[in-house]
Amino acid sequence: MEMISRVLEKFKELFGDEGEIRSYFAPGRVNLIGEHTDYNGGHVFPCALDMGHYAVARKRADKKVRLFNMNYEDNGIQEHEITGLSPNDNGLWYDYQLGVLWALEQKGYSLDAGYDMVMWGDMPAGSGLSASASIELVAAVIAKDLFGLDISMPECALVGQYSENHYNGMNCGIMDQFASAMGKADHAIFLDTAALDYEYVPLNMEKKKIVITNSMVKHQLAGSAYNDRRRESEEALEDLQKVVKIDALGDLDDAGFQKYQDAIKSEVCRKRAHHAVYENLRTMEAVKALKSGNIKAFGKLMNESHVSLRDDYEVSCDELDILASEAWKLPYVIGSRMTGGGFGGCTVSIVEEDHVDEFKKTIGEIYQKKTGNEAKFYIADAADGARRLL
């Protein structure tokens, strides 16, 4: 627990060592397939990572929170009254913590005090691995534990999503928070986002590794474009609901989309709906393939997912396209696609175990030559979800 030891040392330096000090962890996530389907009533297939945010906290007697992030030491200690919080779209790390406290009270949970907290993350911000959800779930498990809140972990995920939607102004779906809250070691989560029904699926990838490649870029339009895609999907749904009884785009199958797609007035919105419908179908098919041991079929569906995200949903970028397309050329790569909201961040690839080092070297050299950026690589180990550690 070297990470927690470092955070605890900093906590004692800033806030003293008296009282009961507790420690927590909430992971980031990587999504294997099922992108931009979670707010369209579809299925997703993420796993929690062993990277995320570690936190040390102690309950206070008053209603103040004092927050410090070792990744952003120049920000200093952020001190706030939890009774006077109001939404903003600043997108700063502490806004994701404060948003959860605000959301808990909005949902009727009583916070009888505040807390002191020091946090440190070992995952890159802006990488598409959902650092924001990790921060939100750290706040949720701290509040759940310190204040004895009667709240389940799926409910914590919903509070995190609510806070990001309504406090931070990002209209995300439920996937990121759910994966961080409900992760299970060595498993991915097959989640029906419409009903919140879920199943843990073992990641039995014989002699293969899940490799995350960080493009090290994040384009400025990511936040606004994400909200645009959600609005465009909602417009497509409204048009379709005039001719067919559905609650979400994820309710349509191939035959239904082919029959009713002309009801969508805007060509752009029709493309968005095309992605949402077929990405949902791909995700269900991919999980079937994995369960049956057909990893090649799973990889093919990953590749198709990237093409759809690039062409129909238009959330990829040159850097992600280079990483994915160059990976497709390598015989030991089973599948590769962008993961996360898009416009930068990461790809996720399934690579034969014996060729992981070769993959890093080959892709790294090509990417640097073509973009001038140096990619970073991580092995994705599926991990448990947000929890108290000590």
Of 67, 47, 150, 51, the C-alpha closest to 107 is 150
Distance CA 145, CA 135 (A): 16
pLDDT recorded at residue 131: 92
pLDDT recorded at residue 65: 98
Alpha carbon separation from 371 to 216, 221, 375 (Å, rounded): 11, 19, 10
In sequence order, the 6+-apart residues with CB closer than 8 A to the CB of 293 are 204
Distance CA 315, CA 347 (A): 13
Distance CA 269, CA 54 (A): 40
176 flagged as catalytic = yes
Alpha carbon separation from 39 to 42, 69, 220, 277, 307 (Å, rounded): 7, 30, 22, 12, 20
pLDDT recorded at residue 196: 96
Distance CA 136, CA 332 (A): 37
pLDDT recorded at residue 84: 86
Task: Record the tokens describing residue 81, joined without a space.
Answer: 């009254």
Q: Which domains does the chain have, with CATH numbers?
A: 2-202+383-388 (3.30.230.10)
- Counting beta carbons within 10 angstroms of the beta carbon of residue 90, is it exposed (0 to 12), middle (13 to 18) or buried (19 or more)? exposed
Give the count of beta carbons closer than 10 Å to the beta carbon of residue 217: 17
Of 162, 161, 165, the C-alpha closest to 175 is 161
Please say whether the beta carbons of 378 and 211 come within 8 A: yes
Averages of pLDDT over each 10 residues, the chain, 390 residues: 92 97 98 97 97 97 97 96 91 95 96 96 84 96 97 98 95 95 98 97 93 89 81 98 98 98 98 98 98 97 98 97 98 97 94 98 98 96 96
Per-position b or e across 100-123, b if 16+ CB within 10 A of its CB: bbbbbebeebebeebbbbbbbbeb
Please say whether the beta carbons of 99 and 88 come within 8 A: no
Of 361, 354, 334, 345, the C-alpha closest to 31 is 345
Only one residue has tokens 């808990």, namely 104
Task: Record the tokens describing residue 154, joined without a space.
Answer: 């799926």
pLDDT recorded at residue 165: 95
Strand pairing partners for 63?
A: none
Which of the residues 176, 239, 251, 312 is marked catalytic?
176
pLDDT recorded at residue 222: 55
Give the count of beta carbons closer than 10 Å to the beta carbon of residue 92: 14
DSSP 3-state assignment of 227?
helix
Measured CA angle at 177 (ends 61, 136), to 5 deg: 30
Please say whether the beta carbons of 127 and 373 come within 8 A: no
Predicted TM-score (pTM) above 0.75: yes
Q: Which stretches does DSSP call E strand in 43-144?
A: 43-44, 46-59, 64-69, 78-81, 115-121
Which DSSP state fits 173? -
pLDDT recorded at residue 373: 95
